[in-house]
Amino acid sequence: MGSRVFFSLLLCTALQLSGCAAYRNYDLELEQTTDQLKTGNPQGALSLLEVHNPGEEKDLLYYFEKGAVLSAAGALPQSQVAWRSAEQMVIQRQDTVESTGTKLLSAMGDHWGSIINDKLRRYDGYDYEKVMLTTQMALNQLAVNDFDGARADIKKTHEREALIARQREQEYARIEEDAKARGVRVHYKDLQGYPVMTLDAPAVIALKNGYQSAFSHYLAGFTYEALGERDLAAPGYRHAIELRPDLPFFEQALRDLDKPRAKADESDVLIIVQSGLAPARSSVRVPYPVRLEDNQVIVANVSFPVMVPDTSTSAFTQMSIDGRKQKLIPVNSITDMSLRTLRDDMPGIIQRTAYRAYLAASVQGTDNRRDPSKASYVTHYDGFEHADTRTWRTLPNLTLVARLHLKKGNHLLSLPNAPGAAPLKIRIDQNHQVIGLRALGDRIYVNGIAFQPALSPESPVSGLE
């Protein structure tokens, strides 16, 4: 009886501290939001974000998603405001300790959210989301030819990568020690029914980690090169090569660094096409056997997260410039980064889930001893046992690039996934220029001053006040 009472009290305390977090179906909310984007209605997507986040205090994901919707819609200043709010939250959470409520339940043996459900834990963002945040902010700056502003955000990206590297080294060591102390020896490959092959895919294993993006470092190299800082551009290109040695595109940039600049009437143009949506997180039930002190073996049905790739946008590898085909090079995949992150995080997830499984099995074991005639060796269904499915969904999935010299003046650009759309008119007037597009379904979103006609101040997309 004591175990069941303890578990109930713990649940009540957690719910009081967390509000309705456990009941929120974030994946469904964002499916509705992204459906609006796929139909070309960013204002509808923004309205849904507000409906789903009615409280005065907004969470980190709200600012992640809002900034992405506004950026796609071309409302770049408002997008930067939202993303600056997200950035500030990330910085604050790096430096603050756990809340009073978290400490209260930590004293009971573990982080309170982990005891009941990972969904009750405060969402601090995944490492790749934090790194891609400042990368996307830099792209907003480059869309208006603000290379100095982009440089500042790129510097933050490098600093955040270094901080994450230190934090993860310490965290993984602690998790390994705790797992040994508790006797948790389960590996994700041992989980019956879990889709192991997704975490062991060659593209996932090939990544050095889940948060460093070769594209981000290449973008740094291009930005430094445009600013005339070739001594800083070279390390950016080299780091991109180290992270993705399979891409000759990065090596070409380093070789070309010592070549003469483009002609006076030409521009060194980097075209960036981001397509699709970041993968969703879903929950899969897995049987987890627990051996109790009295040698009862009780199977707890626990949940683990799985990634579900987005299929809203057809794959493509080329575009058209002035009627001529131009190859696009895929340089970044959020799906691969998120899978690598999940792969690296699984020891910690298993450890937390094993503790919850032990609590549930202990309750069932107590009931079995009390009334052996009704003994069950499978835990009862627990509506709270569901993996955390929160993640930044409006983050673009694939990033494809092309780099070429174009004559200054007007050009026509088109993508193959929108065959019925008229070619986009772009104006090239800088020595170095970045052209950004986003493909979602059969829609093409463009932003930046290169596109003609430019967005008017009376744009129907409203952002933060």
Separation of alpha carbons 339 and 306, rounded Å = 8
| Residue 458 included in any domain | no
Residue 10 sits in a domain whose CATH number is 1.25.40.10
* DSSP letter for each residue of 97-163: ---HHHHHHHTTTS-HHHHH-GGGS-----HHHHHHHHHHHHHHHHHTT-HHHHHHHHHHHHHHHHH
Q: What pLDDT is attached to residue 58?
A: 93
Average pLDDT estimate for 363-383: 85
Residue 460 located in a structural domain? no
Whether residue 463 lies inside any domain: the answer is no
Cβ count near 118 (within 10 Å): 24
319: β partners: 326
pLDDT in tens, 65-74: 999 999 999 9
Q: How, if at all, do strands 329-333 and 398-407 pair? A: antiparallel
Count of structural domains, the chain: 1
Residue 465 belongs to a domain: no
In this prediction, residue 193 carries a pLDDT of 87
Q: Which structural domain, as residue segments, surrounds residue 274? A: 2-452
- 95: confidence class by pLDDT, cuts 50, 70, 90: low
Residue 222 counted as domain residue = yes
Quick check: is 127 in a domain? yes
Contact call for residues 313 and 276 (beta carbons, < 8 A):
yes
Each residue's pLDDT tens digit, 338-347: 999 999 999 8
- Any domain includes 75: yes
When pLDDT is averaged across residues 360-386 and rounded to a whole number, the result is 85
